[in-house]
Chains A and B, each alone.
Chain A
Amino acid sequence: MVGVAYRGKISLEDIKVEFKVEPIELPHSIGFGVRELVTLKGPISESERVRLERASSFCPVGQALTKGSMEVDDEVRWSSGEVIAASPVPETLQPLEGVLPILPHGTVNGSYLLDTKEYDETGAMVHEGEAKVSVSCENLTHLSRWIFLGGHSSDGWVSPPFPMAHGAWAASTASTLSRLLPLGAEDASDIKVELAISAGGGVGQSQSNAADGVVGHRRILRRITVPGTPKTTPLEVVQAALQRDPISLAYQHGGILLDHQVVVE
């Protein structure tokens, strides 16, 4: 949003975002949803606020999670060496039965680190800078908190947001498979999820899409390695398990946004 504001000459002085994360316990649903509140600071008109509101849900990560903008090519490999292209999934395939853990309630708060913006010698902004993100959620014995940094900077100290989201998707895939696959004597630690992302149009294209409210579909390759053989861990079972994975569902169908507000303070 900082990049969109800069390109649109909107006097955005600061920005923070709060997500409330809640479980949704419906059969074969994504399993969670978020309520988003974006607070903008600065002399921002109503039309500029509307433009930034659109940008917040059409940024690459927002698109992936709320509009299902990802096109996924899957491949399954077994530790025995066999390889099968696993896309597309048969339309008649039913999601695999089995229990996935309920997501605890929590919050995610992002604060913009104003002094991490970078400018070139002409004074033009070349990197939007970084954000500090505080994650808080219920844990078994107490409320737990974690801090993440993400954003765009020339030194690359922190992960850009989109790769971080893909990392979460890979983690989600590995977690879901480890919970649902009937592995018997096989070791779930042998599961591996690898992603290769096709080149997009870069930050400029992403900012144009966000500003214009355009869904930019992205292609991604996901290689999943599972223990055993195609006989002990059949392809259909792996595909059916993937039909239950929360972020895989969001990436392909969207739908995690329960509420969305952008206000000027």
Chain B
Amino acid sequence: MVAGANTGITDQMLPSIVARPVGKDAGLTVVGTGPGSRGPWSFITGIPNSDSDMIGPPPQYLAVAAWAA
């Protein structure tokens, strides 16, 4: 493995899906971000925790929802 700036195998890739944490207990995912692709479709997911209700389903549930669709 070689480390270096901007030498990644994915430099040429055009990501079509991006996910980031939002705060401590949630995440935002955008599907269909690439140029020319359909979308974008945004999904909020939650992380089970003992402080607050989740604002979206955990990612596992979103995956099963995709299976159901």
Same complex: yes
A contact set with B: CB distance below 8 Å? 17, 19, 21, 31-32, 34, 59, 61-62, 65, 73, 75, 77, 81-86, 101-104, 106, 108-110, 130-131, 133, 135, 137, 139-142, 144, 146, 148-151, 156, 158-159, 161-175, 178-179, 188-189, 191-197, 221, 223, 230, 235, 246-247, 250
Q: Across the interface, do B6 and A81 meet the contact criterion of CB distance under 8 Å?
A: yes
Q: Across the interface, do B61 and A85 meet the contact criterion of CB distance under 8 Å?
A: no
A-B contact pairs, 27 of them (CB 8 A): A19-B68, A59-B67, A61-B63, A65-B64, A77-B8, A82-B3, A85-B2, A108-B68, A135-B57, A137-B58, A140-B49, A140-B50, A146-B57, A148-B43, A164-B31, A164-B43, A164-B69, A167-B19, A168-B65, A168-B66, A175-B58, A178-B24, A189-B20, A191-B20, A192-B20, A193-B20, A196-B16
Contact of A173 among B7, B19, B31, B60 (CB under 8 A): B19
CA distance A59 to B32 in the complex (A): 21
Q: How far is the CB of A39 from chain B (nearest CB, A)?
A: 12
Which B residues are CB-close (under 8 A) to A170?
17-19, 29
CA distance A174 to B22 in the complex (A): 10
Q: Across the interface, do A174 and B58 meet the contact criterion of CB distance under 8 Å?
A: no
Query: Which residues 5-28 of B sit at the A interface, judged by CB distance below 8 A?
Result: 5-10, 13-24, 27
The range of chain B's interface size is 35 or more
Q: Across the interface, do A179 and B43 meet the contact criterion of CB distance under 8 Å?
A: no
A-B contact sample (14 more), CB < 8 A, given A140-B51, A167-B29: A65-B67, A75-B9, A83-B7, A108-B61, A110-B69, A165-B62, A167-B62, A168-B65, A170-B18, A178-B47, A189-B21, A196-B15, A196-B16, A247-B63
Q: How far is the CB of A118 from chain B (nearest CB, A)?
A: 15
The answer to whether A162 and B15 touch (CB under 8 A), given A104-B48, A223-B10, is: no
Residue of A with least CB distance to B62: A168
Residue of A with least CB distance to B22: A189
Q: Across the interface, do A150 and B29 meet the contact criterion of CB distance under 8 Å?
A: no
